[in-house]
Chains A and B, each alone.
Chain A
Amino acid sequence: MNATRRQLLAGGGLLVAFSMAGHGLAQLAGGGEGGAAPPPLRPDLPGSLKNHPVLDSWVHVPPEGRITVYSGKAELGQGIRTALLQVAAEELDVPPAAIDLVTADTARTPDEGLTAGSHSMQDGGTAILNACANVRMLLTRAAARRWGVEPERLATNGKAQVVAPDGRSLDYGALAAELSLHVEAIPNAPRRDPRHYRTLGRDLPRVDIPAKLTGGAAYVQDLRLPGMLHARVVRGPSYGTRLATPQIERARRMPGVVAVIQNGQFLAVVAEREWLAIQAMRVAQDSDYIRDKPPLPVDDGPHRLEKLPAREISVLNTHDGAREVWKTVRGSFSRPWYSHGSIGPSCAVALAEGGGLTLWSHSQGVFDMHRAVAELVGLPPEKVRCIHTPSAGCYGQNGADDVTAEAGLIAMALPGRPIRLQWMREQEFGWEPCGCGMVTRVEAAIGPDKRIAHWNYEVWSNSHNNRPVGAGGYAVAQEIRPGFPAPEPKPIPMPEGDGDRNANPLYVFPNMNVRYHFVPKMPLRVSALRSLGAHLNIFTIESVLDELALAGGVDPLAFRLAHMQDARARAVMIEATTRFGWKTRPRGDGRRGCGMAFARYKNIGAYCAIAMEIEVERETGAIIVHRVQAAVDAGQPASPDGIRNQVEGGILQSLSWATREAVTYDATRRTSFDWGSYPILRFEEVPGSIAVHVMDRPGDPFLGAGETAQGPTSAALANAIADATGARLRDMPLTPAVVKAAIGV
């Protein structure tokens, strides 16, 4: 693979190539949302080492003191910092505490593209694993040279030492002094034997958690630089609006207001104190507003997408000979637009100084950002440094990129003063890109053998990938003068896909026709939300499988296994259902019911099977989730508890999406602006219990697990509702009113 991601995005030919590849098992490393790293220099190397083959871009072993490991991946609350430390500690064979890990800083770390798409372990973890194995190999060889023995006879002892069979030992530091790490990695440096792992696969407590429990400085919000000023943007209620008569002069006259920044329609207030900035923002914002984009389509919800012009993409088209049709199932499924709903609205700090600009950002894509912001503010990219600094979970492209670009613009107007810009809650709801609304349609049949005979599948979606790679990707780029045009939205090619992610079933079905209607025009501003299109595609596939199983009178688990050849997929399904007690589960009785679902994320990531037991309160339509059992195969787990934590979180977030979430809007603006108008799952509504089993796969390649639960959870819920009540619900959110309307009294 020598094409860069952008080359991939630009070309339509490759799409066809993948669609020809057949049964959805096509394997391709990199590409897609998570691969915007520089072009590969050494395609033979694993993970991001391809792009950065030189070892000292990953590891620094000083003669004295602590080892430093560099990663281009960022801590988003998913625990990647701890997992990467475990990987590095294991392959260097040192205690994790001996390592400093530097992450995602355009001035210091390798450019690994985005931290997204569950690629961090696959790409970044794999790179560090192999880089550290290389370094340990070089250290061992250096010791061998000193002692004049065969390197094979030497070992490391977990304490940053090489040891000889006779008990002699040498510290890494001493060896490093005579070693240059400015060399390219080799692809197959000897790896530590999984049977003797000291750190990898253990539940190492996350290193970032203590500060988060005790008020330590943990977030970009906590950054306090000397002389820092507080900024707020002044805006209409949502994307596509602007204020008619912003009260700029009134705000400017307020004591403590340092500046009012005005550039085209972009407005911001800057004050010595945060509370003053907020008050000045309110004063300036006391105005009517105008919609300056076409009205939002209020009718049809996501089904509007089916009426918009689309680019047709064939995902799969297979012909295995006509099969006899016994029973047919048809249906259309949908999900509305979702908000990322970070608990902390987006925030950034920017400082323009000495002709350069430094940005502290919680963007998932600091490397794209330093180029795109440079373009926006008119600096060469090397003058813009972007340092990833954690914040509240983002789950995709929330306002993080926009707020940083805006902070950069403000800082450029006030050189020498650090600018802390935080969006208000309602600005986050109103201006962040939403997760795409989507629609699917399926027509599928089983034959008399109770096997699937054919499978016709269509999906409609906007692009899930509008992450800024140039200045035009920021909302503010169309507010300032001169502005930058918004780029044309483009789909992500398979096998990762965006709207068609996971539209190609991992199951073996004959006669599949899977089409993606890529809708470039976007009723609402959209971009990546955790799992992209996989959520609705898996929801659809797994719902239809249950319908077909029901039509054929086959148990849903047996029906799935009958169509699945991938041994690991079968194993997680069997593990989850065995632990759940699937065979002896309570059968649907009008109220109680059980459902299961499975997917392998993107068909190249982690495997996840979910089984759940629910109860439907018939009088109200309320759904009570009693228990959830999951099984996940993410390859060699770095930290099983880290995976459990992510999957538990994914299950709850997916339940929240499926049961209550929807961005509401009228013709002029989004009307979801606070937690009252965008409710999410709360404590009284979370399940009675959730158990996540992590499969042990010693030494196997890492498979990202961060998004693997999103699709299967929503699908298992719909299947459980159908089992409980006989009602098949296809349009999310499955609110009590929807449930009640479907089941009657």
Chain B
Amino acid sequence: MNLAITVNGARHQVDARPETPLLYVLRDDLGLNGPKYGCGLGQCGACTVQLDGKAIFSCVTPVGAVGDRPVRTVEGLGTSDRMSPLQQAFLDEQAAQCGYCIAGMIMRAQALLDADPHPTEQKIRAHMQTNLCRCGTHMRILRAIRRVAGIASDGAAA
């Protein structure tokens, strides 16, 4: 079946059944690498993309549900030559180990920063709570988000 979706500003016709999770359409039909398969259960955030500005799990979002709502992946933020401010902050903080979680982290954080450019430390942590990182890159991810949010130091957990 032919479906039209808008990804990173471009309209695409994809030949996919409407129940196909958006993740597989983005990866296999559009050839994007940013969204990752981590669990397929909506529990880890590796597949996080933005749908209509909100961070969603693309692994449990059927492509048929997307409709006219715009999809944004990490490829839509910037390229390795011209990174977006948040990508640049991740680079400056060297906020990756294996990096498998990172595209999802960036997309979830971007959704927060789009809605609230200067969130508190507590709000950042609560917002990022859904996304898992097994390498333990959390402190650097937080630093990168803080950089863009304009918060200077490590916040206390308490």
Contact = CB atoms under 8 A, between A and B. Distances in A.
Given A343-B100, A391-B98, A648-B140, A675 B33 contact: no
Nearest to A655: B136
A674 B43 contact: yes
Given A77-B135, A206-B96, A649-B97, A215 B40 contact: no
Contact of A689 (B21, B43, B101, B139): B139
Interface string A168-209: 000000000000000000000000000000000001011011
Contact of B134 (A392, A624, A683, A690): A392
Interface residues of A, number: 67
A274 B125 CA distance: 34
A652 interface: yes
Contacts of B154: 688-689
Interface in A662-690: 674-676, 680-690
B21 to A, nearest CB: 7
B32 A215 contact: yes
Contacts of A408: none
B97 A625 contact: no
A96 to B, nearest CB: 15
A115 to B, nearest CB: 13
Given A343-B134, A344-B100, A213 B94 contact: no
A493 to B, nearest CB: 30
A221 interface: yes
A212 interface: yes
Nearest to A420: B28
A674 B41 contact: yes
B5 interface: no
Interface centre among A205, A214, A390, A425 (most CB of B within 10 A): A214
**5 shortest interchain CB distances as A-B pairs:** A77-B98, A652-B136, A212-B99, A392-B100, A649-B136
A671 to B, nearest CB: 15
B62 to A, nearest CB: 10
Given A641-B94, A649-B136, 16 more contacts: A77-B100, A212-B102, A215-B75, A218-B33, A273-B24, A343-B44, A343-B98, A343-B135, A393-B134, A624-B158, A626-B158, A648-B140, A675-B39, A682-B132, A683-B124, A683-B128
Contacts of A650: 136
Interface in A266-301: 273-275, 278
Interface in B13-54: 16-17, 20-21, 24, 27-28, 31-34, 36-41, 43-44, 46
B52 to A, nearest CB: 20
B128 to A, nearest CB: 4
Contacts of B10: none
Interface string B64-81: 000000000111011110
Interface in B76-107: 77-80, 83, 87, 90-91, 94, 96-103, 106
A222 B31 CA distance: 9
A683 B138 contact: yes
Interface string B133-145: 1111111111000
Contacts of B32: 215
A214 B44 contact: no
Contacts of A390: 98
Interface string A619-632: 00000111000000
B157 interface: yes
A215 B100 contact: no
Interface string A73-111: 000111100000000000000000000000000000000
A214 B97 contact: no
Contact of A675 (B21, B27, B74, B132): B132
Contacts of B79: 214
Nearest to B74: A215
Contact of B102 (A213, A681, A687): A213
Interface in B108-158: 124-126, 128-129, 131-142, 154-158
A649 B137 contact: yes
20 contacts: A205-B91, A213-B99, A214-B87, A215-B75, A215-B103, A275-B20, A345-B39, A393-B97, A393-B135, A624-B157, A646-B97, A648-B137, A652-B139, A674-B43, A675-B43, A681-B136, A683-B129, A686-B157, A687-B139, A689-B154
A680 B134 CA distance: 8
Contacts of A648: 136-137, 139-140
B61 to A, nearest CB: 13
A632 to B, nearest CB: 15
A525 to B, nearest CB: 20
A425 B36 contact: no
Given A212-B103, A615-B158, A688-B155, A77 B132 contact: no
A342 B40 contact: no
Contacts of A343: 36, 38, 44, 46, 98, 100-101, 132-135
Interface residues of B, number: 63
A6 B36 CA distance: 38
B36 to A, nearest CB: 6
B94 A684 contact: no
A213 B103 contact: yes
Interface string A299-343: 000000000000000000000000000000000000000000111
Contacts of A425: 38-41, 43-44
Given A77-B98, A213-B80, A214-B80, A645 B140 contact: yes
B139 to A, nearest CB: 5
A151 B134 CA distance: 50
Nearest to B86: A213
A210 interface: yes
A481 interface: no
A118 to B, nearest CB: 15
Contacts of B103: 212-213, 215
Interface string A329-369: 00000000000011111000000000000000000000000
A76 B98 contact: yes
Contacts of A214: 34, 74-75, 77-80, 83, 87
A216 interface: yes
Given A214-B74, A221-B37, A275 B21 contact: yes
B36 A344 contact: yes
A532 to B, nearest CB: 18
A614 B53 CA distance: 37
Nearest to B145: A683
A656 B135 CA distance: 11
B41 A210 contact: no
Contacts of A345: 37-39
Contacts of A725: none
A603 interface: no
A419 to B, nearest CB: 15
A141 to B, nearest CB: 39
B14 to A, nearest CB: 12
Contacts of B77: 214
Contact of A395 (B80, B134, B141): B134
A413 interface: no
A393 B91 contact: no
A687 B157 contact: yes
Interface string A204-241: 01101111111111110110100000000000000000
Max chain B Cβ within 10 angstroms of own Cβ: one of A213, A274, A392, A615? A213
